[in-house]
Chain A
């Protein structure tokens, strides 16, 4: 079938999008609508000694000015620890923290109202160094450590002949989706509130709105508005609660839309961090032991910091067999911008560090970078440092061999390093080739329930698919249509707008929606198909077990009987099905199953570097990824290419620059994301080894390409320059001035692992309960 699973079916929302007619959250409008605005703290840390909204409230055209005193329900929200005030509560802990919100007749009046609110701040010292924050007096009643994890396996003190260590630094990356946050809220006749919003997770928004408004969930109606990109940055609440509070306070529809600068201030960033790693290997390059320590700056409020840290720490081993190791990490509170989910969710940081180490080991031993990776490649049946057995296909060797088989680019470079802003004159340009291989956990982890529900109906060959899965651009709507066409033989398919009338689909994150919502849709389609076939069997006096559906035709014993469209005229057949992955468990649990599954990816980068000006051009990135099954070749390529270019951005140019707690580049003038000139040629190949337990053997694909692109670009630039480059983004001055320390290489006396310590995971310190409130209610993140 040309439109089913495996085909490059076009996006059903595509025609509206190319015509400019698709409605995004920013396009929302309603009769009698007010415009909301947000007053934000200019200080990274201050005590609020006075807020006086009187003058603002008195302005003509101003319908509401709300402060913390006006929040009817619980003031605090958050994805895990619920430590963040909806509006500042006597103290502000980051620059940009919402202090008050207004609703007015238009944007200009709203801005005037914001200026008229009197706030007296008593500035406090800003704690912006995460290392200092860990042991400093608490910035918040919940303390400064979001989560500390520490565990070991085997004999961490085992040594091979060579030991390399270094500290790697990763900058803060902004998701930088192109449509700033927007939503429209209005009071509903049932005394509740409705919100159309660009989000990744409708039911999480619903729950958190319920806390602040004091409304029960059934009176908080959240519906997805058109989403202009997400990449993790819409997983947390930003304007959702404010818009609903304003709508309830004014009795009118209220639209809130952020500017680009507000978007930088308001949503969560990728965690910046420092990672120390020590690898020891034998003379053949086989890893004997790994020790690692991670410090992530979580910023002012928890968001998903307690979850991100375990991803980073546990995946420091990379896609390699590591029998002996000691790993520790902290995510901590500072007065910097809050960090949370961004595509990769803690793994790009780990990947940059472990791949830098593999290259350092290879260099010390005179080994080829591919060879050292092949010698250490994880295989199915191996056990991770965190105790989990890799019991599904683990094609690490295959992705490495796949990428090695892709031809190198030929001929002279088409463009000089430097991108749009600056082109090198040529002369001191050197080419470099680098490799990287990564592991990414897929779906929610550590006991966070990963589930979805789908309702499918079929009438005269037309299928309707309903879930709460947020389409954010990734193409779930296409996948759902392909499944309905394949399983049901539907001739037309409508995927309806997600809302909270159906059960939660969880977040569109963690590379999980094809696996979770796709499987729920598949199950519902199978149920509908079976009911249809039962009716056909009854009508024809046949055994339903002998009936099948293929290409829209119902066949009996392989012979066409009727079409799906004509099989049950005028009758609607409906089914609702739920899917939940097998349980996972926290790090250190006896079940030793933290993660649902894994994806593996290998890439090779070819770069040209102007070593005097420090400018880089990425010529080509070749990729081979473990994708389970190819559901839609065109959409898959879009995920690979898009992920690679975002990773390349983190490697070379993207950094939210924070000085003394203030973002100095909250705009696209100074926060640079890759342009079409920066984007490399990408060659993408796949290993298709079906994932057990999943329909068609599919698995998540969205995050691995980004995770691998960060270290692979760095490796290629190192190869071109001979510089250690232990930090990303690699800035021109790092190259031109040679900034950054080289790994320390020590030749060691081999000491085999002590046999009495050679099995099992030991959690050194009982990790605090980091699952938080959401887990208790059955839906929390963990990517």
Chain B
């Protein structure tokens, strides 16, 4: 068996032909082979969420996962949306991104892409999450700067803004 594998991968709407080692993670492929730097390397063992992306690995059910834990080859033919796919329709910030800025949920920012990705999925599924539901959706993401208070506030603000906008 060759130590490399070739496969197709759609990232943020762009189709790529990827050649990677079998042992390479999806995170390594995104960052080092495709130059997609939105997902960050915090721990590379699935404990911090800085590399969170929304991925459809072929089963038609996209969900947020740690790119560092996915062997890239298992994503063959898959669709990956990173933080670069999150934003308003005309390129402006999404309501979640806007709320993260307004509430001070960003300090060093290395965790931010992961939090915004996870919070965006949460609000897509649950427009009015309780504090407990927010915690359940985000406990896989670590933040060392904020103490999480402003992040919870940002998610609550984004949810409220969206409910008011669609009322």
Chain A residues lying within 8 Å of B86, measured Cβ to Cβ, are: 19
Let me know if B93 and A18 touch, CB within 8 A: yes
B83, B142, B146: which contacts A638 (Cβ < 8 A)? B146
Chain A residues lying within 8 Å of B43, measured Cβ to Cβ, are: 260, 667-668
Let me know if A473 and B108 touch, CB within 8 A: yes
The reply on B9 being an interface residue by CB < 8 A is no
- Nearest-Cβ distance from residue A780 to partner chain B, whole angstroms: 25
Report the stretch among B56-64, B71-79, B110-118, B159-167 that lies at the interface.
B110-118
Nearest neighbor of B136 in chain A, beta-carbon distance: A677
| Residues 597-650 (chain A) with a chain B CB within 8 angstroms | 634-635, 637-638, 640-646
A11, A637, A645, A676: which contacts B138 (Cβ < 8 A)? A676
Q: Mark B87-128, 1 if CB is under 8 A from A, else 0.
A: 100000100010011111011111111001000000000000
Chain A residues lying within 8 Å of B37, measured Cβ to Cβ, are: 20, 23, 27
Let me know if B146 and A18 touch, CB within 8 A: no
Report the stretch among A159-167, A205-213, A227-235, A719-727 that lies at the interface.
A227-235
Let me know if A679 and B147 touch, CB within 8 A: yes
Chain B residues lying within 8 Å of A27, measured Cβ to Cβ, are: 37
Q: Mark A677-692, 1 if CB is under 8 A from B, else 0.
A: 1010110000000000
With contact pairs A178-B143, A668-B43, A673-B144 given, residues A472 and B83 touching in the complex (Cβ less than 8 Å): no
- Nearest-Cβ distance from residue A266 to partner chain B, whole angstroms: 15
| Residues 122-155 (chain B) with a chain A CB within 8 angstroms | 131-132, 134-135, 138-139, 141-152
The reply on B16 being an interface residue by CB < 8 A is no
Nearest neighbor of B111 in chain A, beta-carbon distance: A178
Q: Mark B44-80, 1 if CB is under 8 A from A, else 0.
A: 1101101000000000000000000000000000000
A22, A178, A230, A473: which contacts B48 (Cβ < 8 A)? A178
The reply on A661 being an interface residue by CB < 8 A is no
Interface size on A, residues (CB 8 A): 61
Let me know if B144 and A10 touch, CB within 8 A: no
CA A176 – CA B111 in complex, angstroms?
A: 13
Chain B residues lying within 8 Å of A637, measured Cβ to Cβ, are: 104, 149-150
Chain A residues lying within 8 Å of B138, measured Cβ to Cβ, are: 676
Let me know if B47 and A668 touch, CB within 8 A: yes
- Nearest-Cβ distance from residue A285 to partner chain B, whole angstroms: 33
Let me know if A229 and B144 touch, CB within 8 A: yes
CA A21 – CA B40 in complex, angstroms?
A: 11
With contact pairs A11-B101, A18-B100, A646-B144 given, residues A638 and B48 touching in the complex (Cβ less than 8 Å): no
CA A330 – CA B111 in complex, angstroms?
A: 38
Let me know if A644 and B147 touch, CB within 8 A: yes
Nearest neighbor of A474 in chain B, beta-carbon distance: B107
CA A260 – CA B41 in complex, angstroms?
A: 9
| Residues 653-675 (chain A) with a chain B CB within 8 angstroms | 667-669, 673-675
- Nearest-Cβ distance from residue B136 to partner chain A, whole angstroms: 8
Q: Mark B27-41, 1 if CB is under 8 A from A, else 0.
A: 000000001011111
Q: Mark A1-44, 1 if CB is under 8 A from B, else 0.
A: 00000001011011101111111101101000000000000000
Let me know if A634 and B104 touch, CB within 8 A: yes
Nearest neighbor of A675 in chain B, beta-carbon distance: B139
Q: Mark B4-16, 1 if CB is under 8 A from A, else 0.
A: 0000000000000
| Residues 156-199 (chain A) with a chain B CB within 8 angstroms | 176-180
The reply on A259 being an interface residue by CB < 8 A is yes
Chain B residues lying within 8 Å of A432, measured Cβ to Cβ, are: none
Let me know if A675 and B145 touch, CB within 8 A: no
A11, A29, A231: which contacts B106 (Cβ < 8 A)? A11
- Nearest-Cβ distance from residue B122 to partner chain A, whole angstroms: 12
The reply on A348 being an interface residue by CB < 8 A is no
Let me know if B104 and A178 touch, CB within 8 A: no
Let me know if B135 and A676 touch, CB within 8 A: yes
Chain A residues lying within 8 Å of B18, measured Cβ to Cβ, are: none
- Nearest-Cβ distance from residue A392 to partner chain B, whole angstroms: 28
Nearest neighbor of B37 in chain A, beta-carbon distance: A27
Chain A residues lying within 8 Å of B116, measured Cβ to Cβ, are: 18, 20
CA A669 – CA B148 in complex, angstroms?
A: 20
CA A108 – CA B112 in complex, angstroms?
A: 29
Let me know if A20 and B84 touch, CB within 8 A: yes
Chain B residues lying within 8 Å of A668, measured Cβ to Cβ, are: 42-43, 45, 47-48, 142
B35, B101, B110, B147: which contacts A15 (Cβ < 8 A)? B101
Let me know if B144 and A260 touch, CB within 8 A: no
Let me know if A228 and B108 touch, CB within 8 A: yes
The reply on A337 being an interface residue by CB < 8 A is no
Let me know if B110 and A24 touch, CB within 8 A: yes
Given A178-B50, A676-B138, 4 more A-B residue pairs with CB atoms under 8 Å apart are A20-B39, A20-B112, A178-B111, A675-B148
User: Sorted from nearest, which 7 A-B pairs have the closest CB atoms?
Assistant: A473-B108, A20-B38, A228-B110, A20-B83, A17-B109, A645-B147, A641-B147
B residues contacting A by CB (< 8 A) are 21, 35, 37-45, 47-48, 50, 82-84, 86-87, 93, 97, 100-104, 106-113, 116, 131-132, 134-135, 138-139, 141-152
- 27 inter-chain pairs at a CB distance below 8 angstroms, sorted by A residue, are A17-B106, A18-B106, A18-B112, A18-B113, A19-B87, A26-B40, A27-B37, A178-B110, A178-B111, A178-B143, A179-B42, A179-B110, A180-B41, A260-B43, A420-B139, A634-B103, A634-B104, A638-B104, A641-B150, A642-B107, A642-B144, A645-B147, A646-B144, A667-B43, A669-B45, A676-B148, A682-B147
A residues contacting B by CB (< 8 A) are 8, 10-11, 13-15, 17-24, 26-27, 29, 108, 176-180, 226-231, 257, 259-260, 414-415, 420, 472-475, 634-635, 637-638, 640-646, 667-669, 673-677, 679, 681-682
